[in-house]
């Protein structure tokens, strides 16, 4: 899905950018290193009426606010391995519990199936675009995919067999989408989820959920430490540590890999990848989702090579159509192909080699790589 940005750069400027980014080491317009990010401003807990919230401003002026709200919803009664369709009753409750724990242990071996994908509802609002435009829909799909890739979040939303939390993540892009807003929205969602708290449960087992009125007793959605806490719902699956982060990685030419691309750099990209990573155990990063993005460079128009430039080759004022200057369509095509983008800019064609994709992913997940740096940077934000 092509990001819809109209790029006001001429073929000469595009060619210039492409050449400077293809150098070794690449020369970026603002002089950054290939893995250097622009400074950003981040703050959390800005909304008093939301369970969690965050706001991030990027250096180019784009800004996003994310608010997370949670509501209790009744779960549809199902005849799953819990034994029988859900029925109230204290005596049944005891039997139900043993059934449940038995079933739970059986499921625990493969990772519990308590959470459901439908319990997470993510909505993106972009000013000037309707809700069913391509960009919001595509961005929402990518962010949801990354969040649901791990079971931890869904399972955390389970209350008991009859009720669960429904998590609404509402993302608001406050400025017009100048550059592809995916990393901005992903980082803001990450911080908002980290700051989200759910009220503490005081009811037991399958009765109607009752919560502690004291907000100070509320527990974080992503708990801080993995130390054995007595209110762990499940012994085998750990609660998720941190939500995933989606980064935009682009490549130019055969060897240049760049992070945090600006709008101009994206305009000459040969390949753009969205890599979603999550911090696993012991700080190792794990890829949870990977998507290719159609680079906006494909929407640019090619420059005109000198051989085809009618203003430079026209010498006679003859209006005869059968002059030596007029070429057939096939000749024009042949000339352009032979040129191969050497003398003038040509939008990139074709895909990206698997080795390059592997290198791009490795840059993100390796120890001391970009993924860790970003997580460290975000960890510095007070949540």
Partner 1 sequence: MPLDTSTYALAHLRLDGRRWNELRHLHAQISTQASSDGSSYLEQGNTKILCTVSGPQEQRRNAPGGRQQQAGAGSDTEAQIVVEMNLAAFSSTDRKKRARSDKRVQEMQFTIAEAFRGTLFTNLYPHSTITITLHVLSQDGSLLTACLNAATLALVDAGIPMSDYVSAVTVASAPSSDQSLDEVDPLLDLNGLEEQELPFMTVGTTAAGTGEGVEGEAKIMVLVMETKVQMGRLEAMLSVGVDGCRRVRGLLDDVVRTQGRRVMENKIS
Is 46 an interacting residue with respect to partner 1 (CB under 8 A)?
Answer: yes
CA 207, CA 296: separation in Å to the nearest integer? 54
Contacting residue, 14, 17, 40, 47, with partner 1 by CB under 8 A: 47
Site for partner 1 in 308-347 (CB under 8 A): none
Q: Do 6 and 139 meet the contact criterion of CB atoms below 8 Å apart?
A: no
Is 356 an interacting residue with respect to partner 1 (CB under 8 A)?
Answer: no
Contact map string, positions 150 to 189, toward partner 1, x by CB under 8 A: ------------------x-x-x-xxx-x-----------
Is 45 an interacting residue with respect to partner 1 (CB under 8 A)?
Answer: no
Strands 271-279, 245-252: pairing kind: antiparallel
Nearer to partner 1, 68 or 182 (CB): 68
Contacting residue, 16, 19, 34, 69, with partner 1 by CB under 8 A: 69
Contacting residue, 54, 65, 135, 161, with partner 1 by CB under 8 A: 65
Cα 189–Cα 187–Cα 292 angle in degrees, nearest 5: 105
CA 267, CA 339: separation in Å to the nearest integer? 21
Minimum distance from CB of 124 to partner 1 (Å)?
11
Size of the site for partner 1 (CB under 8 A): 27
Alpha helices per DSSP H over the chain: 11-22, 90-108, 134-148, 151-156, 182-194, 263-266, 310-313, 329-339, 354-365, 370-379
Minimum distance from CB of 136 to partner 1 (Å)?
13
CA 100, CA 206: separation in Å to the nearest integer? 11
CA 120, CA 123: separation in Å to the nearest integer? 10
Minimum distance from CB of 189 to partner 1 (Å)?
13
Contacting residue, 29, 74, 89, 127, with partner 1 by CB under 8 A: 127
CA 37, CA 258: separation in Å to the nearest integer? 10
Residues within the interface to partner 1 (CB under 8 A):
46-50, 53, 57, 60-63, 65, 67-69, 71, 123, 125, 127, 130, 168, 170, 172, 174-176, 178
């Amino acid at each position: 899905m092509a990001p819809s940005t109209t790029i006001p750069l001429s073929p000469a400027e595009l060619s210039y950018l492409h050449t400077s980014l293809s150098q070794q080491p690449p020369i970026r317009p603002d002089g950054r290193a290939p893995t250097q990010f622009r400074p950003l401003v981040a703050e959390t807990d800005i909304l008093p009426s939301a369970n969690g919230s965050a706001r991030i401003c990027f250096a180019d002026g784009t800004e996003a606010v994310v608010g997370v709200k949670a509501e209790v919803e009744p779960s549809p009664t199902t005849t799953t391995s819990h034994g029988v369709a859900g029925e109230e009753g204290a005596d049944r409750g005891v039997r139900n519990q043993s059934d449940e724990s038995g079933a739970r242990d059986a499921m625990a071996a493969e990772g519990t199936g308590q959470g459901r994908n439908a319990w997470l509802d993510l909505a993106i609002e972009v000013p000037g675009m309707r809700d069913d435009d391509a960009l919001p829909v595509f961005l929402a799909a990518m962010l949801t995919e990354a969040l649901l890739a791990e079971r931890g979040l869904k399972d955390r939303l389970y209350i008991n067999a009859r009720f669960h939390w429904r998590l609404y993540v509402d993302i608001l892009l406050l400025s017009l989408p100048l550059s592809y807003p995916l990393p901005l929205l992903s980082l803001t969602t990450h911080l908002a989820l980290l700051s989200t708290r759910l009220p503490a449960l005081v009811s037991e087992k399958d009765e109607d959920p009752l919560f502690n009125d004291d907000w100070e007793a509320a527990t974080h959605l992503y708990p801080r430490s993995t130390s054995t806490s007595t209110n762990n719902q499940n012994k085998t699956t750990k609660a998720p540590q941190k939500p995933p982060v989606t980064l935009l990685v682009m490549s130019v030419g055969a060897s240049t890999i760049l992070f945090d691309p600006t709008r101009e750099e994206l305009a000459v990209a040969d390949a753009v990848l969205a890599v979603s990573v999550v911090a696993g155990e012991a700080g190792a990063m794990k890829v949870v989702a990977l998507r290719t993005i159609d680079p906006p460079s494909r929407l640019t128009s090619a420059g005109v090579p000198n051989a085809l430039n009618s203003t430079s080759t026209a010498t006679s004022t003859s209006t005869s159509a059968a002059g030596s200057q007029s070429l057939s369509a096939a000749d024009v095509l042949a000339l352009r192909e032979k040129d191969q983008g050497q003398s003038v800019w040509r939008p990139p064609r074709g895909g990206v080699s698997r080795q390059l994709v592997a290198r791009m992913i490795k840059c993100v997940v390796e120890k001391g790589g970009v993924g860790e740096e970003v997580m460290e940077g975000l960890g510095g934000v007070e949540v």
